[in-house]
Amino acid sequence: MIRYKSTRGGDESKRSTEAIIQGIAADKGLFVPETIPALPFKPEQKTATPYHYSAFHILKSFLPDFTDEELKRCIEGAYDSRFEAAEIAPLVKAGSAYFLELYHGRTAAFKDMALSILPYLLTTAMNKEKEEKKVVILTATSGDTGKAALEGFSDVPGTEIVVFYPKDGVSQVQERQMLTQSGKNTHVFAIRGNFDDAQAGVKKIFNDEAFAAKLAAKGYRLSSANSINIGRLAPQIVYYVYAYIKLLELGAVETGAPMNVVIPTGNFGNILAAYYAKRMGLPVRRLICASNRNKILTDFIRTGVYDANRDFYVTNSPSMDILISSNLERLLYHLSGDSAGETAALMAKLEESRKYCVTGKIREGLKDFYGGFAGVEETNETIGKLYQDEKYLVDTHTAVAYKVYEDYLKETGDGTPAVIASTASPYKFADSVAKSIGLQTDADEFENIRLLHEHTGVAVPDALKNLEGREIRHSGVVDVGGMADAVSGSLE
């Protein structure tokens, strides 16, 4: 039975239920499975099965401490009619690739795919482990995680959720989604800084033993909804397996033939899930990592040097405006041959100098990855061209992925069928999308949603309809140094 251990080696192995509740290991490392399970079924034998089938069998492989009945209840509660697409994650052919639309959930972003089920997994785990303390979900967001986590945990018994986001680092729509969030247990704060500042502040709180003791005395314990939580990461593996099954259904690949996956990512969680799927035996040839102007992951994959001592750019694909990619730690651990010592040493260098260099096994393992990036102008041009040629509308993050994929094709000539993770509705970034297809945009992003809909006829997700008229419920703005006080104040 799979158990979980820390990437840094200093924590005893945990049951999957314990790892989900705890979120992050006591030694600051991330929980990883002691072994990565094999695919529990042959994809070619499961064509025409619903998303729930793949979800159940993949999650059962990674979360063996849940009973079949418990997992089925979690899955049915998460992937229900609140997803506007009956197939949950449609696969659509456009241009030279297949787009896996992951944004048909409650907040119109791919984070719904995991954060719709995490509250069910967490509360089930709490009951199984007889956890008496109220769990405080603490998370930093570059835009979409925050709203999806807030939506998922809103008024969930036994939980509080506190979200921090960079004040000027998310879109108007993303911010309004968070600020209008209902739920007596939801708390949202903007910080004066960027996402890396927010993420560093959250990690500091997690690692503050005195603060943890203070919360424990009040009956609380911390956990996370970021992809550092294995209960958030495991559900993301599902949709890559499901995408391959859909390719088989469409006749786009033959049994056992590989696919490529192209993933826009900043914090490395979404592409790490694809890596796990590959390790399970899913036929994946290349893991194509797409970055925006903050191309630290591109540089790392190409050189083996991770150097965060560089300028930080605010772009129109804000969920990738990140310089410290938390989930990369898990990849380092696996590529090093599960060496907690080597991983801990690299993370110590990152904390000390914001830089490290990998060699040996890790550098060799990076050959499975391809790194590329797209600037703002290239992103906008890609949106415009894809709509002009295919009448297919994508958001800025998905456009980054498609541009990187086009570059990959030119460089390699690799005609392997490619699945692009389409991570958000184009309406979440209506300003850039409308401008990219030639519309005269307004200063108000909500007006641009209306313009975009009138011009394209593409349906506006329910999550974004009439968003500008909803009541503002959260207005706190804090400095990075005040984040712990904001958490404490939220729980009084």
* CATH number for position 289: 3.40.50.1100
- Whether residue 449 lies inside any domain: the answer is yes
Domain assignment present for 200:
no
Instruction: Flag whether 393 is in a domain.
Output: yes
Q: In this predicted structure, what is the pLDDT of residue 143? A: 80
pLDDT at 12: 83
Does residue 198 lie within any of the structural domains?
no
Nearest to 396 by CA among 372, 377, 417: 377
Residues known to be catalytic: 111
Q: Is residue 75 part of a domain?
A: no
The separation between the first and the last C-alpha atoms of the chain, rounded to the nearest angstrom, is 40
pLDDT at 11: 72
Which residues, 6+ apart, have CB-to-CB distance to 259 below 8 Å? 243, 244, 247, 253, 283, 284, 285, 416, 417, 418, 419
d(CA 462, CA 467): 9
The pLDDT value recorded for residue 492 is 82
Domain count, the chain: 1
Give average pLDDT by consecutive 10-residue segment, the chain, 492 residues: 95 93 93 98 96 98 98 97 96 98 97 96 96 95 91 95 94 94 97 94 94 95 92 98 98 98 96 98 98 98 98 94 96 98 98 96 97 98 98 98 98 98 96 96 92 97 93 96 97 88
Domain that holds residue 348: 91-106+231-464
- Residue 413 in domain: yes
Strands 97-101 and 91-94: antiparallel
